[in-house]
Amino acid sequence: MKQPKLIQETLIEDEDLSADIADLVPVSSKITDAAATYISKVSKKYGDEVITGDKLRILNKTGELAQEVVKTGATIGRLLRNPRQAMAELVEAEALQRKEEQLKAKRPKRRRRIPHDPTYHGTRCHA
């Protein structure tokens, strides 16, 4: 019955946690926990009160930021627990993001519009 353990080892290439950074793992978990708790409290506040105007915009923005903190905290945890694989994934994601930004930055080429003149009949240069 060691099959599940073998499957787990195959799916998740685990690295030994370095002793000098082991004490950071619970701290990184607290980052994620605090952000998740904040998101929960914001959601509860939406249900308890009618919120409008600036307060609504502030809660929306802080909720978005807390979502980013949850993602960042999870990334920190992965980096501490499995540094080689997590770094490889980060480098790949950053390269993909740079490529997408470069594609967005390129402006489409503007085609030069040549006015149509029926007297040319394709025999003269339009330039």
pLDDT of residue 92: 93
Greatest mean pLDDT range, 97-101, 104-108, 120-124: 97-101
The pLDDT, as a whole number, for residue 18 is 77
Give the confidence band of 69 by pLDDT, cuts at 50, 70, 90.
very high
For the chain, domain boundaries: 22-105
Average pLDDT over residues 71-86: 90
Q: pLDDT value at position 13? A: 58
Q: What percentage of the chain carries pLDDT values higher than 70? A: 72
Q: What is the pTM of this model?
A: 0.61
- Please enumerate in sequence order all residues whose Cβ is within 8 A of that of 15, keeping only pairs 6 or more positions apart, or say none: 81, 82, 83, 84, 85
- 31-57, pLDDT tens digit by residue? 999 999 999 999 888 887 788 888 889
**How many DSSP H helices and E strands does the chain contain?**
4, 0
